[in-house]
Amino acid sequence: MVGRPLRTPLRTQTRRRTAVPLDLAADVVTLTEALVDMPSESGAEGPLADAVEAALRALPGLDVERVGNSVVARTDAGHGERVVIAGHLDTVPEAGNLPARRDGERLYGLGACDMKAGVAVALKLAAAVAGRPLHRDVTFAFYECEEIVGDRNGLAVIAARRPELLAGDLALLLEPSDAGVEAGCQGFLLADIVVPGQRAHTARAWMGANAAHLAGDVLTRLHAHEPERIRIDGLEYREGLNAVAVRAGVSSNVVPDECVVTVNLRFAPSRSPEQAEAYLRGLFPEYELRVTEAEPGALPGLDRPMAAGLVKALGVEPRPKLGWTDVARFAALGTPALNCGPGDPQLAHTPGEFVPMAEVRACEERLRDWLLGQ
């Protein structure tokens, strides 16, 4: 869930901690708890990556490679199919929610939902398949810096340096998805709509043109805009177009000569970023429009046999992913990908985030049965 850091993580400025061994024989909830108790704010994943690497290297039948603070482990039995199971190691900054704590059937703590529980599931799956005869090869990717600016994203770094490590016929991103399947993801585009005016002294405002006032036309259109609903593979992707910032003003006694309205467009994966930009320009043809960031979405790929087989085996009704996740990075590599992990995505990044223990266990069990049973 991409964002921008407000500060440099303090732990990147201090002595690196010694990795605490991970017990992959422990049940998946206990493993999740241990992962939560290993702080790994974006940029400070080193100790956790060390622990994950050590645990994976102790398993038979896996080729393990380290890329920065990301770890990739692969079986290589020469099967005709390969599934990639991926999850990020980092979390957002702490909000008084460490260490982990149990309350009834909930496990609370930083990253419990996003996505230490998903990482625990992936580690348990790696332990389950290691050295076992399988019908397809499996890649496990644990990567750094998902929660901050995209050029540091560990998955993007691996894709740029060693794309062969991420090759597969289907990718599962264990982002919180209520232990169900959220297929594909929306693309997003950020753009500035520039409204011109004419500068003047506020005592003689009639001699100018107030760009902030003129921006009302843009805001009115945005308020009246009805986002499209687009169906792909039977799933409805609801687009969204919103103003997220309005900037104007030179001085308290100057009529502003420019107002910039920043808009966020979430578009269905059937559109390319270029098509999304053309769509936005068509809505505001008379204004200058500056695109500042754009990322493509990912088609759901539910028509692919392997994806369809997984959905059937899990016995769930797939939903569209109304947001952007790293499944788009797999799609860019030509690999269809699904979001499939424990936890409620609406709890991610909140001080009170938690994951239902039963959901973590169910996710591990269903994915293990699918990997070992087909």
Report the pLDDT value the prediction gives residue 11, as an integer from 0 to 100: 36
3-state secondary structure the chain: CCCCCCCCCHHHHCCCCCCCCCCCCCCHHHHHHHHHCCCCECCCCHHHHHHHHHHHHCCCCCEEEEECCEEEEECCCCCCCEEEEEEECCECCCCCCCCCEEECCEEECCCHHHHHHHHHHHHHHHHHHCCCCCCCEEEEEEECCCCCCHHHCHHHHHHHHCHHHHCCCEEEECCCCCCCCEECECEEEEEEEEEECECEEHHHHHHCECHHHHCHHHHHHHHHCCCCEEEECCEEEECEEEEEEEEECCCCCEECCEEEEEEEEEECCCCCHHHHHHHHHHHCCCCEEEEEEEECCECCCCCCHHHHHHHHHHCCCCEECCCCCCHHHHHHCCCCEEECCCCCHHHCCCCCCEEEHHHHHHHHHHHHHHHHHC
Tokens encoding 275: 């098509």
Tokens encoding 138: 């499996």
Report the pLDDT value the prediction gives residue 213, as an integer from 0 to 100: 97
**Domain 10-184+298-373 CATH superfamily:** Zn peptidases (3.40.630.10)
Tokens encoding 369: 């049965």
Active-site residue (options: 146, 169, 344, 359) = 146
CA-based nearest residue to 315, from 356, 355, 369: 369
CA-based nearest residue to 131, from 84, 77, 81: 77
Interaxial angle between packed helices 117-129 and 28-36, expressed in degrees from 0 to 180 and rounded to the nearest 10: 130
Question: Can you tell me the distance from the alpha carbon of 140 to that of 125, in angstroms, rounded to the nearest whole number?
Answer: 9
CA-based nearest residue to 43, from 136, 113, 122, 148: 148
pTM summary value: 0.85
Domain range list for the chain: 10-184+298-373, 188-295
Active-site residue (options: 41, 45, 90, 144) = 90
Instruction: Give pLDDT < 70 ranges for the chain.
Output: 1-19, 374
Interaxial angle between packed helices 28-36 and 357-373, expressed in degrees from 0 to 180 and rounded to the nearest 10: 120
Report the pLDDT value the prediction gives residue 350, as an integer from 0 to 100: 94
CA-based nearest residue to 170, from 340, 295, 319: 340
The residue length of the chain stands at 374
Annotated active-site residue 364? The verdict is: no
Contact 256, 212 (CB under 8 A): yes
Task: Please give the CATH topology (third level) of the domain spanning 188-295.
Answer: Alpha-Beta Plaits (3.30.70)
Q: What is the CA radius of gyration of the chain?
A: 23
Backbone phi, then psi, for 315, in 5-degree steps? 65, 35
* Pairing outcome for strands 254-255 and 200-201: antiparallel
Question: Can you tell me the distance from the alpha carbon of 217 to that of 73, in angstroms, rounded to the nearest whole number?
Answer: 54
Report the pLDDT value the prediction gives residue 348, as an integer from 0 to 100: 92
Q: Say how many Å lie between the first and final Cα of the chain, rounded.
A: 32
Report the pLDDT value the prediction gives residue 318, as an integer from 0 to 100: 94
Domains 10-184+298-373 and 188-295 share a fold: no
Tokens encoding 319: 């939903």
Report the pLDDT value the prediction gives residue 334, as an integer from 0 to 100: 87
Contact 304, 313 (CB under 8 A): no
CB atoms within 10 A of CB 96: 7
Annotated active-site residue 147? The verdict is: no
Residue 122 CA to its chain's centroid (Å): 16
Contact 151, 96 (CB under 8 A): no
